[in-house]
Structure 1
């Protein structure tokens, strides 16, 4: 009997799960991958830094899955608006939520709603051309930017702010962001971390990139570094990352000419409030110390003048009607991916925003193994034909993968010299390029 699988979300978790379904059932499965946008690949398109083109290459693997007859992309369909979760559960043997974690976690600080204070999802979405954030229009007219967080996303944001126009050649950063960055007055980037160098979540490759930028001068206060002998207890990756920080601590004033962009790592520094009137003007910071691995405030405060603040402190999954949500974890409420009979979640929607892109592959395979045990031979539900009948009834003009290929072709054709593509930053333009009007 045919198994009918609906996957909500076309990012890495969604496509790895579809790949696993094909391996599990071969010709005895039909997979429909739904996405609210007319374009696939999720964070590969709108989350991975535009200057990391080699990482974006993983989409070719997803494309191979997408082009099989058993898998179909169903784009420009918002679950909860165009079709409900109960309706999908009636149509498909199993519904798997692979929606990722596209929303910013809040800082929870006074002043975070001031203009020019952004979360990383919105700021990264802005320079990556996500339609929801294309109109963000951040002001880069002040000489100092503050980034809150000690993970790779914080490094991505710092690197994009620090790079020269020449260094962004060959990236797929969108035109509106490139124009803004080209007139940026930011010359000082302060990265605030509540804890110390041994507690960072920054990987060696991303940290090492800062040392090779044309006009960036990364700096660390030597006083923030623990005794070097303590590095021996760290895992190899973290030890290498801390090694980069130690190298940055040897940078002196003479090594940072006035035309350079300094990137200052301010450890043991917890933001307490964001100050300003018409927009952010200062960040009040409290010095911290470690107690049993946790950052504890010392009561000592200082201010960092800043014209823009970007919080890179994590993400959370979007709520969907009729799906229980774990607010504390920022994900769907689940037990190892199981939410309810016939309803599952995978990737960041299951575990929260942890792990790399590749982490989603074993996660997808594990969920399909669980699903296979639960649904057996399938229940003979309507599946794809049933959804098509519903879509026709409601006038849902969804985008197929062949339509996406037309969008892709148009973006590549519109690319500026040296760039792989110029993304459409509005759904309307995407639909037009797909010929769906």
Structure 2
């Protein structure tokens, strides 16, 4: 018997740490880990010990004789990976941690998403280190709460790991507190020996084409936050009255958007999707979603796990014309010689299987168009069409536009071509790379500059908006390692003010600070409402309601 990693894999790599035979790859020591779609178990090496099953935070691993029917494609996906990979390298090494001084270290972490929590997880293991976590929302967990699709409940299982961190005695929440408004960077530096910024990329990248700002042209960041119940987006409205939607981009977020638009709303009703989104989707007239990628299937940015899972959608056809499966000359030759990278080869195989699957009259549809780029959104008052230009490969994976154009009528176009970070007040910013300049997580005073003592970054603000939960775990752990190294080496400066005044300070500037007890009241209210409705939780989307439930409706100090 072997074990199989399936679609819910979050790349957190906890399973790698406990595997006694090194059968799970890529490990965090292998360069490929940084770009891996998921982790894979080698069926020839697995000894059926089950350690990985117990350790997986998202319940993504099964013995092969207990594999649910919908996960059976992952038998082949795991095996395919080892056609051109082996288990000889990548053993996880645990270097001896530095000897820390007996002094107390106070660390402020700005942000409450995965990178922030994985850094905190490492820091709170040390009894002399206290961690205070700040976030402007009254709820923690960042994109796990507001970005992971509502029908991916398994992936949200990492919240249990975060909850274990927040219960530590040397951990404190300052939720509902906006750094830069309620407390400044300099004030944090005065009160903490180290400040770690672990914030994300809240804005979408632009296409810079005509009509992009017309109503009906929507950023994926907005739409995803809307259906996930982010308070800042709860009151947005989207026109879903047309039968066709177009999604520009073909990463996992684009797949999420397409899937949510065509999934039977009654299936979504059992998830933690926002109530306002569920009501809108029940009234939606969308029957077809066209997903547009500027390069071919071999360069599809979605993971194979997300791709193959589309086959499980009830009443939905996945439509790929044979003409859309053009490969570059290099990929075609490698595929014919059975030397194409196994992950890419699997992607091509899955696409060909979709292309060969008969369609059913009356089904909703997700249609993939590859080697196509948008050049214009049509319309005057609102979007009524998207014009695409056909691309072709010209060598080395590069493409160029042809003179072949296609117009798709639509009133709803979602731009999903990536996220971008924004500058943080009082911190340097590298405009070219759209990140805070850093070396080994230490913030620099400019690109290629010198480190700023005691200031660190992790997550997307450190490296750009790439990678998911697993990459953010590695990133958070690296930031924690740099903080510990600087603490051990005497490079951090002792605080000049007492952190105990933070609650009163932020309250005096209008913050309604939510602590752990307040967050637990919000969490309990959502779970109780969810239990009554047969759902995981019913999210609160009003910050005022959250504050009332948390018991912080009025600030403690003077506004």
TM range (shorter): over 0.9
Change (3 A) 1:336 1:294: farther
User: Higher relative contact order at CA 8 Å, sep ≥6: structure 1 or structure 2?
Assistant: 1
Q: Does 1:311 align with 2:311?
A: no
Work out whether residues 4 and 30 of structure 1, in 8 Å CA contact, stay in contact via their aligned partners in 2.
yes
1:334 to 416, 438, 445: 438
Q: Which residue of 1 aligns with 2:378?
A: 275
Distance 2:507 2:153 in 1: 38
Change (3 A) 1:383 1:294: farther
Change (3 A) 1:302 1:81: same
Work out whether residues 91 and 386 of structure 1, in 8 Å CA contact, stay in contact via their aligned partners in 2.
no
Of 371-380 and 190-199, the range deviating more from structure 2: 371-380
Work out whether residues 387 and 408 of structure 2, in 8 Å CA contact, stay in contact via their aligned partners in 1.
yes
Q: Which residue of 2 aligns with 1:12?
A: 114
Q: Which residue of 1 aligns with 2:366?
A: 263
Q: Does 1:288 align with 2:391?
A: yes
Q: What displacement does 1:389 show?
A: 4.9
Change (3 A) 1:395 1:281: closer
Distance 1:16 1:6 in 2: 14
Q: Deviations over 1:361-412 (max 9, x none)?
A: 2211211221222233554314531424533544533111210110011112
Q: Which residue of 2 aligns with 1:300?
A: 404
Work out whether residues 454 and 493 of structure 2, in 8 Å CA contact, stay in contact via their aligned partners in 1.
no
Q: Deviations over 1:48-107 (max 9, x none)?
A: 000000000101100100110111111011111111112211221111110111221112
Work out whether residues 315 and 330 of structure 1, in 8 Å CA contact, stay in contact via their aligned partners in 2.
no
Work out whether residues 34 and 74 of structure 1, in 8 Å CA contact, stay in contact via their aligned partners in 2.
yes
1:125 to 225, 239, 252: 225
Q: TM-score, normalised by structure 2?
A: 0.75
Work out whether residues 412 and 421 of structure 1, in 8 Å CA contact, stay in contact via their aligned partners in 2.
yes
Q: Does 1:375 align with 2:478?
A: no
Work out whether residues 53 and 171 of structure 1, in 8 Å CA contact, stay in contact via their aligned partners in 2.
yes
1:62-101 to structure 2, matched below 5 A, reads 62-101=162-201
Work out whether residues 118 and 476 of structure 2, in 8 Å CA contact, stay in contact via their aligned partners in 1.
yes
1:237-256 to structure 2, matched below 5 A, reads 237-252=343-358, 255-256=359-360
Change (3 A) 1:234 1:356: farther
Q: Deviations over 1:207-247 (max 9, x none)?
A: 11111111211111212224666434443333222222111
Q: Which residue of 2 aligns with 1:160?
A: 260
Distance 1:236 1:398 in 2: 50
1:108 to 204, 208, 232: 208
Distance 1:35 1:417 in 2: 29
Distance 1:393 1:47 in 2: 32
Of 131-140 and 82-91, the range deviating more from structure 2: 82-91
Q: Which residue of 1 aligns with 2:37?
A: none
Q: Which residue of 1 aligns with 2:517?
A: 402
Q: Which residue of 2 aligns with 1:366?
A: 478
Q: What displacement does 1:298 show?
A: 1.1
SS at match of 1:6: strand
Distance 1:118 1:425 in 2: 20
Q: What displacement does 1:348 show?
A: 1.1
Distance 2:280 2:404 in 1: 36
Q: Does 1:144 align with 2:144?
A: no
Change (3 A) 1:393 1:417: closer
Q: Deviations over 1:303-353 (max 9, x none)?
A: 111110111111122322111222333322223322122111101111111
SS at match of 1:414: helix
Distance 2:176 2:422 in 1: 17
Q: Which residue of 2 aligns with 1:412?
A: 527
Distance 1:141 1:297 in 2: 32
Q: What displacement does 1:290 show?
A: 1.9
Q: Which residue of 2 aligns with 1:429?
A: 545
Change (3 A) 1:172 1:389: closer
Work out whether residues 336 and 350 of structure 1, in 8 Å CA contact, stay in contact via their aligned partners in 2.
no
Q: What displacement does 1:274 show?
A: 0.7
Q: What displacement does 1:205 show?
A: 1.5
Q: Which runs of 5+ in 1 are unaligned?
A: none
SS at match of 2:233: coil
Distance 2:348 2:514 in 1: 46
Q: What displacement does 1:276 show?
A: 1.1
Q: What displacement does 1:277 show?
A: 1.9
Work out whether residues 97 and 344 of structure 1, in 8 Å CA contact, stay in contact via their aligned partners in 2.
yes
Work out whether residues 280 and 308 of structure 1, in 8 Å CA contact, stay in contact via their aligned partners in 2.
yes
SS at match of 2:199: coil
Q: Which runs of 5+ in 2 are unaligned?
A: 1-102, 444-451, 554-559
1:41 to 135, 141, 146: 141
Q: Which residue of 2 aligns with 1:348?
A: 460
Aligned pair count reads 432
Q: What displacement does 1:182 show?
A: 0.9
How large is the Cα RMSD of the aligned pairs? Answer: 1.7
Work out whether residues 298 and 347 of structure 2, in 8 Å CA contact, stay in contact via their aligned partners in 1.
no
